[in-house]
Structure 1
Amino acid sequence: MSGVIVSMRRTLLSCTSLVRNGMMTLGMTLGATVGATLVSTTPGHAGDLSLLNGILELNHQEFAVLTTALALLGFTVVSAILLMHTRVRAAKSDARLRSHIQSLQVEADNFRALLFAEPQILIAWAAGDDRPQISGDISLVMPQDSQHQPQRILAFGTWLPPEPALQMDHAVDALREAGESFLLNLTSSNGRAFEAMGRAVGGQAIVRIRELSGLRRELAETNLRHKALLEETEMLRGFAAAAPWPIWAKGIKGNLNYANDAYARATEATNAADAIDRDLGLLDSADRTDMDRALTEKGAFTARLPIVIDGERRIYDVHALNVDGGSAGIAIDASEAVALRAALVRMAEAHRRTLDQLSSGVAVFDAQRRLAFYNDSYRRLWDLDRTFLDNNPDDSSVLDRLRAARKLPEQADFRAWKAKLHEAYRAIETEKETWYLPDGRAVSVVTTPNPEGGVTYLFDDVTESLDLARRFDGLIRVQRETLDNLAEAVAVFGSNGRAQLSNPAFAKMWKLSPEALQERPHIETVEAWCRPLFDDPNIWRTLREAVTAIENRVEVPLKLERKDGSVLDCMTMPLPDGATMLTFQDITDTENVERALRERNEALETADQMKVDFVHHVSYELRSPLTTIIGFAHFLSDPVTGPLMPKQAEYLGYITASTNALLAIINNILDLATIDAGAMSLNLGPVDIRKTIEAAAEGIQDRLATDRIELKLDVDPNIGTFVGDERRVVQVLYNLLANAVGFSPPDSAITVSAGRTEHSVIFRVTDSGPGIPPDVKDKVFDWFESHSNGSRHRGAGLGLSLVRSFVELHGGKVRVDSIVGKGTTVTCDFPVDQAAHRNAAE
């Protein structure tokens, strides 16, 4: 109504403007007409004529000015007259308009009172105007503090839930842009019901919002419920149609009046309608009878039944119940569940058998804290009666029995300890602890909460493990202390090439930081640190390969001569765990001593060689003149040369004896020198043992007679022969006999014996002389070692040296057994077969 009034006011103002413009035009026209009339209708008046003449006498310009003035005067007069009439008419029209507007205002107030007799809100958008006019009581939807901000009502999300607010936004946009009407039933955030209606009226978009109450509200709520039920019904129908399980509904008389596609496929019908028309049953007749009986008696039926579908027998869980107007049912394929249950049972049995084989004791208590499972290890660990365990005792009873048998840790407050243990039934995480039993055992206890309720206990006797761990820790500490106190530098590198262990001596020897070694550096890093002291790339490559090698892991000895002059003896030792131990020993002093000893030994060897060369040379030089002397002595003793005086013959006898002795000494020296030079060779052949002894004894007969010494032979006549150099064997026996005669007292006896074994021939020469002291026993075979203690003859000390050389040249051995004051026995052991002996030696 207010819009109509505003339109009427605009029309009235337009009419007034048009009337005013028309009156001004009419006044100008009338003024011009009156001026012309005056000129033409008053010729009889003199003043007027003179005026007219005066006017006529004016020039054209002045006349025009005059004419204009007269026209203006006429227009003014006429305008004044017309204005008076217009004002009269306008006053009358204004009175009528005011009366009409007043009546319209009254009518508009009546309409407004009628419109807002019911609480509602009007929102109007004029065409092209984004600022709407909002009327009504906005407190219907907005709080009281928002009365001065009516525009906030357009923020629908402030008083509507998200989904209805989005519907309002879309509906208002469609109304303003395309003039689409709408009618929405809304529920505000505080639970009040509203109706929102939108219409396009007279070029304006108008939205009315009013609260529903009474019958209208009930009708709206009924419509909403009806719509929700329709949507729910369609959703359930869609679900039932798409469900993979057969679903059906039957009437009161038991006839099939609904079936889904799965039901049709299960009954081999063409479609659901065909199944309904033919009233096909899913179950066998006996199962259908049982289902009908259960529905009649109990109103519900549940069973797991076999159903043949597409020629395959499968297991289904069938559920049916009475509903209004009949019954409904569903069959859910449980074949996989049955198979899984059977597999689960088999798996549980397998687990049970496996747990029975475990060395760990296992006890499972259910949610009621009763023993559900135990293995034999659990029974043996706690020595519990099988009958007691098979009766499924509760957790507390088991603990009480163990406590009575003193098989639980001693506790000051057993009840509090047991309550803390039973917190595992409410726990989430696994707990582990160790029980130290009164009998000295240590038992590891792991309590694991079960997802389905209850607790699983795992018991392990860790007495031996803890003892081993203590021993291992002790060994580790001993190893650590041992390594730390070793003079040798030790470093252990893992198979990855990183240092795992080292002692202070290693860091000190290579001038490394102990803190840096604790960072487990790689062998290449350690090499870089050590290169300032030793930079031989070949040895470092050997060390790297020894540390990182996977195959052919062997010990590698190395000698490192560092830049600082020190010498290290290095050894790489593969360890069983794949690691490699490097040991470094400073052998600088040892190397220096060894070098000095080596130089000294070389000097001694050179001196010995010089001595041998000198003796050999002198012996050869002495033999020539000595041979001449011997020759002339024999020549002079020959009667052909003439008779000699007795004194001359005596002197010539002394010369002959002395020269023979000297020749024997020279020959012995030459033989020893030849053997020492490795130039002596044996003339092997059969050696008659008994004849060899007799030949040696023949050479000392004169000395035996002179010293009144008896020679005893202890030789088997059938002793036989052996392979050897007969001349050298005779020489050995002669020297032994000569040595025995020299140490034997007068009127004593010397025994020569010979025996043989499977592989050797043994000669023994025994005297009853003073014996050899133990401190010189090892020197009797050295060159020029002559011991005159108890000997009547002083020799050159070459006899026994020559004996040992000849016996060893044959591959035999010489042994001296002597008791001071009782005598000496020298044993020579010759191999029977020289060829076999030499092959074995080679």
Structure 2
Amino acid sequence: MIFSWASFFLAFAGFFCILWLKARETAQTFKKLLLTRGESWALCEEREIIDRAPSFPVDSLYYLKNFLHPDSLAKIELAIDRLIRENLSFQIHVHGKESDAIYAFEGESLAGKSILWIKNITDTIHRERLHAETIQKNETLLANLQTTLDALPILIWHRDEHQKINYCNSAYSIAVQASCKKVYEDGIELIQSRFARILARKALNTGENQNFESVAIADGDRRYFRICEIPNANDQGTLGIAYDITELNDIRTEIKRLIHAHDEVLDHLSTAISIYDAEGMLHYYNQAYVNLHSFDEDFLKARPRLDEVLEELRSRRQLPEYADFPAYKKRRLQQLKEQVDPQEVLMHLPDERTLRIFSAPHPMGGLLFMFEDVTDYLALERKNKTLLDAYQATLDNLFEGVVVIGSDNRLRIFNPSFIRLWSFEGEDIKPGQHLTTIIEKLKDLFDYEENWEPYKAQLIENVTDRVPKTGQLKRKDGMIVNFRYLPLPSGDHLLSYTDATDTCRVQQALQERNEALETADRLKSEFIANVSYELRAPLNTIIGFTEILSHQYFGNLNERQIDYINGVLESSNKLLHLVNDILDLASIEAGYLTLIPQNINISTLLREVAALITKRAEANRQYIVLKCDKDIGDWFLDSRRLKQALFNLLNNAIKFTPAEGKITLTAEIKEGMLEISVIDTGVGIVPEDQTRLFEKFERGKNIIHMGAGLGLSLVKNLIELHGGYIKLFSDLNKGTKVTCFIPQAPQQYDSDATKALASPPHE
């Protein structure tokens, strides 16, 4: 029995040892397991901590209140209670009491005990928050980027390594009229797919941007795009961009057209033009530039540099001589890059030409040069200056007072005679003075009525109304001034003044004398006309009885009696002819003589006139030659008066042509005028007598036969009644030619015309 109890106790002790060892081993294993988490832990039984890691912040759950924030403490106490009573595990994030630290608190139930873990996760939480914020920012940035890309008017897309589009913006979608999803699925391209992918593949292979311009249909319209594929080394894809450059292309086309038109205009200018770029290369030249320097055009077509052009000009002596020519070339090349303002210089060439060279920066870079040969211009300018100096000297020495008033009514030009004529002194008159000021200074010289202002206004209007006029002013001091106003094309006003006091006095005296002479001449003409009328009746009686006696109606007469009778008859006819001429002249001067025109055959009229004078010519051993154009036809005139005029001319020719002389009567039409000429081979007329022979009672100094001097005066008046005129050509001792010029009269007949008061011409 003793053995049994001893064995029992021994067995029990052994079993207990085994259990203790196992429990110890289990506890050690459990502790090792807790230590492997690397966190602060505590092993609790009920609410007592039976074991803990050194880093666990408290040795009793009671002291958690000193470690945790009150809000977190309430949460953790509730969780521990439920863990102890209900074995409910928990995981809670709690905050420290006196810091911003954040802890992860966990609790589990194991083998009837509670295990608590605590870990400071402040940095982790901050990292997580930062990561979340970064993600949020990236998502916002991505959304903004997407919105921005969609808002851009530029087409944007992305291709993967197989050149397939995996992204596009709204502009691309609108352009191809498909949704972005459909673009990705169907691979819809802006341009032909083959060309687009070749461009993208080339960008990947070369690693360089590839640009291409092409026409494409965008949103149903034909547009012009600049397409760029950019390699993306990050994903072996490419980024595509397409700019709508339709307007730019239109502008470029318009610029090309304008440049072409501009070049055409420059080509037709007479001004020589050349354009060099910033590097000195000849960019443009016109034909005038070729002609100015006599260039070989093949040389210019090669687009030489400016220094080469200068060398060419120097070799042909079309540049001035420069001591340091290389330095000159260098300055000219620097000028292409440094000049910012237009410049103008004169260049005098060895061939005595002078060129004006204008240079200005060109919008496309470089300089534009304009060359103008001003040799003739400068010579003309010198000549013009000389002329202006001569005109100024002439103006200063004119007897007339000359003044020019500007369009603003201010004095511009005046000469010394103007100052002297109007008695100005010193600073009384100077350029720029207003017209009213000048007139005001002359107030005392004008003879005006009571009110000066209206008179002054009228004076100003007279010299500024731009109506040409002449007139005369009578000043208070007795001087008489002739003035002339002429508006100038520039808008200025030209006035000239002349002292006409003495001239007016002489003119008045001459006028009074002329009136006396005219009165005497009128009385003489009236007396002669009255006497002529009184002589005509007895002359007709004498002629009548003499003709009866000459026909021997009352008996035969002896030879001497017949000679006496013929002499009386001839003298009576001459006297009657003279009386008729006097009456005709008096009728013309009084305006009583009126033509009775009708259609007359000129050839017939000339033959009739020649027949009247032939016997007298034959008696003087002279012969008459008649010349008349065959096509002269009829002419509308008064044949009676024209016969009278021609008879007088032929009669004069017979008088002054010696025996065996020739008298020619011609008629022709030139420039719509009938020209009838009487040409003789007589003694001629001295030049000083030719201008006065057509006046009444005038005779030449070298005459052989005396006459009354009325024939040519009557002829002149009769021709002028026909609307014509008369000319006389004479060489002394060679002969005389008198030509009557008669225009074609209107084809009408004046039934009320007064018949001529004079009788027809007589032999």
- TM-score (normalizing by structure 2): 0.53
Contact 1:814 1:829 in 2 (8 A): yes
The AA in structure 2 aligned to 1:324 is N
What SS is found at the alignment partner of 1:329?
A: strand
The AA in structure 1 aligned to 2:289 is Y
What SS is found at the alignment partner of 1:432?
A: strand
User: Which residue is equivalent to 1:567?
Assistant: 481
Contact 2:645 2:719 in 1 (8 A): no
Contact 1:247 1:328 in 2 (8 A): no
**1:400 maps to which of 311, 334, 345:** 311
Contact 1:490 1:502 in 2 (8 A): yes
User: Are 1:478 and 2:386 an aligned pair?
Assistant: no
Contact 2:626 2:664 in 1 (8 A): no
Structure 1 residue 383: deviation in Å?
2.7
User: Are 1:518 and 2:518 an aligned pair?
Assistant: no
Structure 1 residue 323: deviation in Å?
4.6
User: Are 1:365 and 2:276 an aligned pair?
Assistant: yes
Contact 1:493 1:500 in 2 (8 A): yes
User: Which residue is equivalent to 1:285?
Assistant: 193
User: Which residue is equivalent to 2:632?
Assistant: none
Contact 1:510 1:533 in 2 (8 A): no
What SS is found at the alignment partner of 2:465?
A: helix
Contact 2:155 2:243 in 1 (8 A): no
In 1, the alpha carbon distance for the partners of 2:303 and 2:625 equals 100
User: Are 1:544 and 2:464 an aligned pair?
Assistant: yes
What SS is found at the alignment partner of 1:464?
A: helix
Aligned 1:200-349 pairs, distance under 5 A:
236-249=145-158, 258-270=167-179, 274=181, 278=185, 280-282=187-189, 284-294=192-202, 296-304=204-212, 306=214, 307-314=216-223, 315-325=225-235, 327=237, 329-336=239-246, 337-349=248-260
**How many matched pairs?**
543
Flag the 1:296–1:810 CA change in 2: closer, same or farther, 3 A: closer
In 1, the alpha carbon distance for the partners of 2:196 and 2:738 equals 119
User: Which residue is equivalent to 1:594?
Assistant: 507
In 2, the alpha carbon distance for the partners of 1:367 and 1:237 equals 44
Deviations 1:672-702 (A, max 9, x none): 98778658989999999889999x99xxxxx
Aligned 1:809-828 pairs, distance under 5 A:
none
Flag the 1:586–1:246 CA change in 2: closer, same or farther, 3 A: same
Structure 1 gaps of 5+ residues are 1-182, 184-214, 548-555, 625-659, 698-710, 741-748, 792-796
Flag the 1:321–1:817 CA change in 2: closer, same or farther, 3 A: closer
Contact 2:483 2:497 in 1 (8 A): yes
Aligned 1:55-94 pairs, distance under 5 A:
none
User: Which residue is equivalent to 1:606?
Assistant: 519
In 2, the alpha carbon distance for the partners of 1:334 and 1:463 equals 54
Deviations 1:474-502 (A, max 9, x none): 33332222222222233445677766544
Structure 1 residue 435: deviation in Å?
0.9
Contact 2:727 2:740 in 1 (8 A): no
User: Are 1:585 and 2:494 an aligned pair?
Assistant: no
The AA in structure 1 aligned to 2:498 is Q
Flag the 1:507–1:753 CA change in 2: closer, same or farther, 3 A: same
Flag the 1:234–1:448 CA change in 2: closer, same or farther, 3 A: farther
What SS is found at the alignment partner of 2:387?
A: helix
Structure 1 residue 543: deviation in Å?
4.1
User: Which residue is equivalent to 2:352?
Assistant: 440
Structure 1 residue 578: deviation in Å?
6.2
Aligned 1:451-530 pairs, distance under 5 A:
451-492=363-404, 501-510=413-422, 518-519=431-432, 521=434
Structure 2 gaps of 5+ residues are 1-99, 101-122, 448-454, 538-568, 597-604, 628-638, 668-674, 721-725, 755-763
Q: Once structures 1 and 2 are overlaid, which stretch shifts more, 422-431 or 343-352?
A: 343-352
Flag the 1:772–1:530 CA change in 2: closer, same or farther, 3 A: same
Structure 1 residue 593: deviation in Å?
1.3
Contact 2:401 2:498 in 1 (8 A): yes
| Percent identical residues | 25
In 1, the alpha carbon distance for the partners of 2:693 and 2:360 equals 86
What SS is found at the alignment partner of 2:304?
A: coil
Structure 1 residue 598: deviation in Å?
0.8
User: Are 1:382 and 2:293 an aligned pair?
Assistant: yes
User: Which residue is equivalent to 2:631?
Assistant: none
In 1, the alpha carbon distance for the partners of 2:644 and 2:168 equals 131
Contact 1:810 1:830 in 2 (8 A): no
Aligned 1:29-48 pairs, distance under 5 A:
none
Deviations 1:139-166 (A, max 9, x none): xxxxxxxxxxxxxxxxxxxxxxxxxxxx
What SS is found at the alignment partner of 2:475?
A: coil
Deviations 1:406-433 (A, max 9, x none): 1111223333433433342212112211
Contact 1:264 1:270 in 2 (8 A): yes
In 2, the alpha carbon distance for the partners of 1:387 and 1:818 equals 70
Deviations 1:607-662 (A, max 9, x none): 455667788999999999xxxxxxxxxxxxxxxxxxxxxxxxxxxxxxxxxxx9xx
Flag the 1:491–1:690 CA change in 2: closer, same or farther, 3 A: same
In 2, the alpha carbon distance for the partners of 1:673 and 1:815 equals 22
**RMSD over aligned Cα atoms:** 6.4
Contact 1:370 1:392 in 2 (8 A): yes
User: Which residue is equivalent to 2:262?
Assistant: 351
Deviations 1:92-118 (A, max 9, x none): xxxxxxxxxxxxxxxxxxxxxxxxxxx
The AA in structure 1 aligned to 2:148 is F
In 1, the alpha carbon distance for the partners of 2:259 and 2:647 equals 96
Contact 1:355 1:362 in 2 (8 A): yes
Q: Say which one has the larger Rg.
A: 1
In 2, the alpha carbon distance for the partners of 1:682 and 1:257 equals 116
What SS is found at the alignment partner of 1:544?
A: coil
Aligned 1:649-660 pairs, distance under 5 A:
none
Structure in which a larger fraction of residues adopt helix: 1
Contact 1:382 1:407 in 2 (8 A): yes
The AA in structure 2 aligned to 1:338 is N
What SS is found at the alignment partner of 1:545?
A: coil
In 2, the alpha carbon distance for the partners of 1:293 and 1:786 equals 121
In 2, the alpha carbon distance for the partners of 1:383 and 1:827 equals 62
The AA in structure 2 aligned to 1:466 is L
Structure 1 residue 335: deviation in Å?
3.2
User: Which residue is equivalent to 1:421?
Assistant: 332
In 2, the alpha carbon distance for the partners of 1:361 and 1:477 equals 33
Flag the 1:322–1:688 CA change in 2: closer, same or farther, 3 A: closer
In 1, the alpha carbon distance for the partners of 2:205 and 2:731 equals 126
Structure 1 residue 562: deviation in Å?
2.7
Deviations 1:193-234 (A, max 9, x none): xxxxxxxxxxxxxxxxxxxxxx9xx99xx99x9699858766
Contact 1:252 1:326 in 2 (8 A): yes
Deviations 1:284-321 (A, max 9, x none): 43245325533542345423254443234432322322
Structure 1 residue 237: deviation in Å?
4.3
Flag the 1:524–1:253 CA change in 2: closer, same or farther, 3 A: same
**1:450 maps to which of 362, 378, 399:** 362
The AA in structure 1 aligned to 2:227 is D
